[in-house]
Every structure is written in structure tokens, then in C-alpha cells.
Structure 1
Amino acid sequence: MEFLPENNDLVAIGVSVLSGSLVGLEREYKNKSAGFRTIVLICLGATAFTIASRYGVGSDDRIAANIITGIGFIGAGVIFKDKFSVMGLTTAAVIWMVAGIGMAAGIGYYGLSLSLSVITVVVLSVFNKVEGAMERLFLTRTLFIVFQDMDVNNLEELKRQMDKHRIKYVRKTVSKRARRLSVVFELTADRKTLQQFNNEMMNLSYVEEFYYNS
């Protein structure tokens, strides 16, 4: 039997594309790994599966659960973890949220779908500025340092430098790396203070290399 989409299904698809586009444009503007096309397709895919579930018998909950599971795999693919930090969590959360927006459109809650899209864009845009303002006052970074040799006096001298700048620090690890002393600190200060400390470290002869992780 030939299947033709109902008018409500076409409306749901249109709302899904529009809702996904609102969030996708924000992600594309910020040059994220999940950009405009990816976000729209995720939203549209969730809508399509939700619409399909309405035509099954007793399958709604199972298909909805499988959408959540499948989105979990996609979200995990954009998360990157290095030695000290995790990146991509916000993008993964956006993918998860967009799937929910698509499901809302597929069920027929068009106003909810569009409203959630607008709220998501506001959270990603406005709250990002709030985070930036907070970082200017209070910022925590993980600092990885490799000294030129195994002289622990250099470590003590670096601590005095941090005390001079009134930087709060917690020593996480100390290790030997290629006949050099390696130390990991967690630093807490305002952004300007950390930048000044960073500039000073560039001129310290006993520091071989260093880098930060958020």
C-alpha cells in the first residue's frame, strides 16, 4: 500500500528543520564539530523516527528509547579527552538536546519544539558571555610544567613566584620525565593574574616547557 505523509507530518518535518536550523546556525557560527547540517539532520532524524513510531502498534516507547541510545553514540563521538581535560561536552549536550527538540516536533508539540530551540540558542550565546565574565574574576586552570633538570629548588622557586602573584595552587602530581622534573598544578586566580604569571614563566630559564588545560 502506498504511503503518503499526512499534513501534520509535513508540518512536523518543517518545524523540525526550522528548529534544527536555529541551533545549527549558532553552532556553525562558532565553528563547532557538529555544525549546521549535522544539527539539522539530527533534529530531522529524531522527528522522522518519532513520526514512524506513531504508525506502529505499541512501539512508541521502544523507538523513543532507541533514539536516545543512538544519540548517545553520536554525542560520545564528539567528546575528546586528553591527559588533563575533557572537550566537546557542550557539543554532545547540544546534540542530545536537539534530538529532544526533534522528538517534540514529531509528536506534534510544535510550539514546544520552537521554544526549546530559542532557549537553547540563548543558553549557548548569552550564558557563554556570563562564563567569560566569571572567568575574568575567577579562573581555574591545570598547569603542566617540565623543568630543565631534577633540582627541586626550582620547584620551590616557582611556588614563590605563584605566591607573589597571590595565585592559589594545588600540586597534583610530581614525576620524573626524561631526566627532568615534571609537575602538575591546579591554579586559581583571575584571568589577568594568570596571564601575567604566564608571561613571567616564558622568561624563567629553569622551565623547559609548560602548557595549560582547562
Structure 2
Amino acid sequence: MDFLPEQQDLISIGISILAGSLVGLEREYKNKSAGFRTIVLICLGATAFTIASRFGAGSDDRIAANIITGIGFIGAGVIFKDKFSVMGLTTAAVIWVVAGIGMAAGLGYYGLALSLSFITVAVLSLFSKVEISMEKLFLTRTLFVVFQDVDVGNLEKLKEVMDRHHLKYVRKTVSKRARQLSVVFELNGDRKSLQQFNNEMMTLMYVEEFYYNS
């Protein structure tokens, strides 16, 4: 029985912790559900299973496949859906990538593991700025509106408000509940126009309530 880890395994563990820390710090800075400790542990766990797979004859592929399956369950746990939007997809993708980084470290591809961690941080940091820039030009949002009554004229009034703010819209659903009319729209426009429209929505007396995922 060998109670002492091999030098290569210790290096793999060290690289795994370092690589996971680089990505984890970015996630912690942005206050995500999977923060510093979680990301490091995911990376370290993938490394540990990959190292263990080397000691089982013909088990490498099976263990690697099980790592991917297990990470899928963890990723699914950070995804949640509200009325109209799905959140946590980026965090789930990060968990998936970090597991891959941990596996690379466990296999001894240290340069690849560190390179992927730097690339992941760059994508998370720099590409978010690209998304913000694009949102200034074009956004798609879903609007849920409950009118005070079933007067169809109020629906036409709301469409006039959308036209005034130069928004493109598609009516997705219409429903009646008790004495109220509910409508769901898909809106398209730039960020400034959507914000101005959202502000005006708050002043419309014929609108009982609305949900606007800004």
C-alpha cells in the first residue's frame, strides 16, 4: 500500500487549485451563486477523479464520462427560470468548463489547464463588455401586462405608447381573468427606448400591473 501521493499527482492538484482559483475569483467578484470555493472544489474534484482513473485498468473513459454526467447535475442546480427568463446558464457553462480544466490538470496537461483558465476569465470579463455594448443598440424583452378591465381600447393605447418609443413588438398571448385582460408582448429596441417606455408604463392608469424583465 502506497500512502504517499506521487509528485506528478501533487503537481496536478496544485495546478488544479491555481486554475480553479483564477476562474473562481472572477465568479466571486461578480457575486455569482457558484463562487470561489465552489469553482475551486469542482476543478479539484475533476482532477481527483481523473487521477484516480489512471489506477484502474480501462476505466479512464468511463470515469471521464461520469465526471461530465455529474457536472451536468451540478450545472442544472444553478439554473432557474422565472416567468419569462432563464438565469444561471453562464454559471452552469463555467462549471462545465472548469471541470474540463480540472480533467486536463489531472491528465498532466498543465499548460492547457492554465491556458484554459486564463481564456475562461478573459471570456467572462471581456465578452460581458461586448454584450453591454450590443445591448445599447438592440435588446429583446418580454412584457407581461394586466389591464384594469377588459376594454380592448386600452390595448390599442398601449400599442400607441410602444410606437411612440419606436419599439417593435409582437403580441404573444392574450388572456382574460375575471374582469381583467392580460397580454404578453415581445419587445425589441435599444436600451434607452426600453427604459423610457418602462418609466412611462409606471404612469399609465389603465395598467393594473406589469412585469418587465429589464
TM over 0.5: yes
Aligned residue in 1 for 2:174: 174
2:135 is aligned with 1:135? yes
Give the corresponding residue for 1:69. Answer: 69
Q: Which deviates the most, 159-168 or 36-45?
A: 159-168
The runs of at least 4 consecutive aligned structure 1 residues that moved more than 2 Å come to none
In 1, are the aligned partners of 2:173 and 2:184 still within 8 Å (CA)?
Answer: yes
The residue matched to 1:96 in structure 2 has which SS?
helix
Any unmatched runs of 5+ in structure 1? none
Identity of aligned residues (%): 84
CA contact (8 A) 2:47 2:102 kept: yes
Partners of 1:17 and 1:131 lie apart in 2 by 30
Structure 2 unmatched runs, 5+? none
Count of residues paired in the alignment? 214
Q: How does 1:57-206 map to 2 (within 5 A)?
A: 57-206=57-206
CA deviations over 1:102-148 (Å, ceiling 9, x no partner):
00000000000000000000100100010000000001100111111
Residue 12 of structure 1 is matched in structure 2 by 12
Q: TM-score normalised to the size of structure 2?
A: 0.98
CA distance in 2, matches of 1:121, 1:56: 34
Query: Hey, what's the Cα distance between the residues in 2 that align with 1:75 and 1:105?
Result: 20
Query: Per-residue deviation at 1:179?
Result: 2.1
Q: Which amino acid aligns with 2:138?
A: F
Separation (CA, whole Å) in 2 of partners of 1:118 and 1:196: 39
Secondary structure of the residue that 2:57 maps to in structure 1?
coil
Deviations, residues 18-45 of structure 1 (Å, cap 9, x unaligned): 0000000000000000000000000000
Q: Distance in 2 between matches of 1:213 and 1:59?
A: 47
Mapped partners of 1:56, 1:114: distance in 2: 26
Deviation, structure 1 residue 77: 0.4
1:66-120 Cα distance to aligned partner (Å, 9 max, x none): 0000000000000001221111100000000000000000000000000000000
